[in-house]
Amino acid sequence: IYPKWLTITTVRDASNQPTHYVAAFTDITERKAADERIHHLAFYDPLTGLPNRRLLMDRAEHALASSSRTREYGALIFIDLDNFKTLNDTQGHAVGDQLLIEVGKRLGTNVREVDTVSRLGGDEFVLLLEDLGHEEESAAALAESIADKIRAHLGQPFQLEGLSQECHTTSSIGLTLFHDQ
């Protein structure tokens, strides 16, 4: 089974009646793969595989529209790794890239399927949390609980190739709720 482009042409006789059909197939496997690669490059961070800024903005618009309909709160959690530039400068970009990949993985384990973990660039990540409930206080408490869990999870040591010791990092986290606005 493979994707193909099919063209069917009717062959007619002298009285314009169909006598048979001729079909021509073209294998479009490579074109489909190229389209998928282009889509992936347009909407996902090439290093971490996480949604990028463009896809985050699209999902945020959808989340706002959904919040307006359902009257449920959502949240944006901004995460910035502290002193990442120092790690990159002293240990090299390969080690910094490993850390970013591992941070992305850890963030993904702290959210639900409906939520979005994205990388804006550099050492900045954003979590889009949806459907946190109808009450502002409980939605804020849930978002804060997730942020605290993330801070603790990111505070655990990372084992990175090329380093003889564990890598420790801290993060700065900002949080805002949204609701029909």
The Cα-based distances of 148 to 82, 141, 154 in angstroms read: 16, 10, 10
Least confident residue range of 35-39, 55-59, 108-112, 162-166: 162-166
State the pLDDT confidence band at 65, using cuts at 50, 70 and 90: very high
**Any idea of the CA torsion for 34, 36, 40, 42, to the nearest 10 degrees?**
70
How many CB atoms are closer than 10 A to CB 45? 21
Look over the chain and give the mean of its residue pLDDT values, rounded to a whole number: 92
Token digits of residue 145? 């609980």
Residues 6+ positions from 81 with CB-CB distance below 8 Å: 99, 103, 123, 154, 169, 170, 171
pTM score over 0.95: no
**Phi-psi region at 113: left, alpha or beta (left = phi > 0; alpha = psi -120 to 50):** alpha
Q: Kindly report which listed range (65-69, 71-75, 82-86, 159-163) carries the lowest average pLDDT score.
A: 159-163
Neighbours of 71 (CB within 10 A): 10
pLDDT band at 127 (very low <50, low <70, confident <90, very high): very high
The catalytic site residues sit at 123
* Percentage above 70 pLDDT, the chain: 100
Instruction: Reply yes or no on whether the pLDDT at 18 is more than 90.
Output: yes
**What is the average per-residue pLDDT within 160-178?**
88
Distance (Å, rounded) from C-alpha 42 to C-alpha 23? Answer: 35
CA dist., res. 170 & res. 67, Å (int) = 32
